[in-house]
Structure 1
Amino acid sequence: LIVPHIARRFVGNNIKLLIPYTAMLGSFFVVSSDLIGRLLFSPYEVPVGIMMSFLGCPYFIYLLFRQKGAQQYA
């Protein structure tokens, strides 16, 4: 869910670039989350969904506060 928001920051609103860029960035995010989950807790494996939640939750909180701050001054 966070990958399209990140991709939009890099590409902008051009849908011809946004969809392929989101697919590539999303696959990289899943693979890197799996790698972090396997390497950080070496004898154990953390499911990729949990690692993606740990990495994605701070970004969602950032988006929430950024959106909330923009509404206060609008």
Structure 2
Amino acid sequence: MTSRKPPLAPSQGLLALAELIDSGKLSPVVDRGGRIAEMPAAYEALVTEHPRGKVVLHVDHGTAEHESRPATTSSGTLRRS
């Protein structure tokens, strides 16, 4: 019988996930990214197409910096802000 580790607290789980991503052991797959204003089109694409990854919407905080920054890198992985 194998012993199971107790579940992590939510904040610890997020930290563990971030460490896996940073180490390259886990690569999030992002099909596309866009602004929250593009949510209707993103939802339509989810239900009519077959995305190969997650669709990421980022919130526009009203600054030019956020408007010009893509949600993903050229390789399609998430980019940290």
Question: Could you say whether these structures have the same fold, taking a TM-score greater than 0.5 normalized by the shorter chain as the test?
Answer: no
More strand, by proportion: 2
More helix, by proportion: 1
Q: Whose radius of gyration is greater, 1 or 2?
A: 2
Does 1 or 2 have the higher relative contact order (CA < 8 Å, sep 6+)? 2
TM-score tier, shorter chain, comes to under 0.3
